[in-house]
């Protein structure tokens, strides 16, 4: 991404300049995450109890592997809640189908 005059980047307005996706995607940083190990998925098991936390770091140039000597230019933590306050989780089991139904208060 290229930052604006204030030094901020908004993935919903600024197009990706390289990496695993192209174009303007507000959630592109998360939708296009790829695991370090093949056939592993980024899955949150307990979606009701705690947020999904991702630490984002920006480095000068491309870094495939970072070491202790590499310091990020900026970093932050983004959290995403899957279930709002007061939501009720109802487990679903019907034949071979497994899932959960989330009901609002």
Q: What is the pLDDT of residues 52-68, one digit of tens each?
A: 888 888 777 777 777 88
Q: What is the pLDDT of residue 95?
A: 94
3-state DSSP assignment of residue 74:
strand
Alpha carbons 81 and 85: distance in angstroms, whole number: 10
Alpha carbons 105 and 101: distance in angstroms, whole number: 13
Partners of 53 in the β-ladder: 79
Q: Does 19 score more than 90 pLDDT? A: no
User: What is the model's pTM?
Assistant: 0.55
Alpha carbons 69 and 100: distance in angstroms, whole number: 45
Partners of 98 in the β-ladder: 93
Alpha carbons 28 and 12: distance in angstroms, whole number: 9
Q: Does 1 score more than 70 pLDDT? A: no
């Amino acid at each position: 991404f290229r930052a604006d005059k204030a030094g901020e980047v908004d993935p919903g307005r600024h197009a990706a300049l390289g990496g695993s996706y192209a174009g303007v995607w507000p959630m592109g940083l998360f939708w296009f995450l790829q695991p370090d190990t093949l056939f592993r998925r980024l899955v949150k098991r307990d979606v009701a109890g705690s947020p999904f936390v991702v630490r984002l770091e920006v480095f000068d140039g491309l870094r495939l592997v970072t070491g202790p000597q590499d310091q990020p230019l900026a970093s932050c933590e983004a959290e995403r809640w899957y279930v709002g306050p007061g939501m009720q989780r109802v487990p679903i089991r019907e034949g071979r189908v497994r899932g959960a139904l989330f009901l609002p208060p």
